[in-house]
Copies of this chain bind each other. A is one copy, B any other.
């Protein structure tokens, strides 16, 4: 069993309005950053998952996204295993 660091990116679906992203975009324009547009804002999570293999860690992280971390009606998620945690002892 090793501990793997999994990076999870949860973003609002492309077809949906993103009021948080719009608020950030307006604030950036108000600060003089006229060159920015199409701001989208979501969540980023870093998890340590203890599993026998990289693929198994990814599968468990995907299950966590489906159960809790992302709302499939309004959000999409991406997962990537970022590497093994040296001496990792996640529960």
Contact = CB atoms under 8 A, between A and B. Distances in A.
Query: Which of A27, A38, A90 is packed against the most chain B CB atoms within 10 Å?
Result: A38
A41 B45 contact: yes
A60 B68 CA distance: 35
A46 B11 contact: yes
Contact of A47 (B10, B39, B43, B46): B39
23 contacts: A3-B37, A11-B44, A21-B45, A27-B68, A31-B64, A31-B67, A33-B60, A35-B49, A35-B50, A35-B60, A35-B90, A35-B91, A36-B47, A36-B64, A37-B48, A37-B89, A37-B90, A38-B47, A39-B47, A40-B45, A40-B46, A41-B45, A43-B44
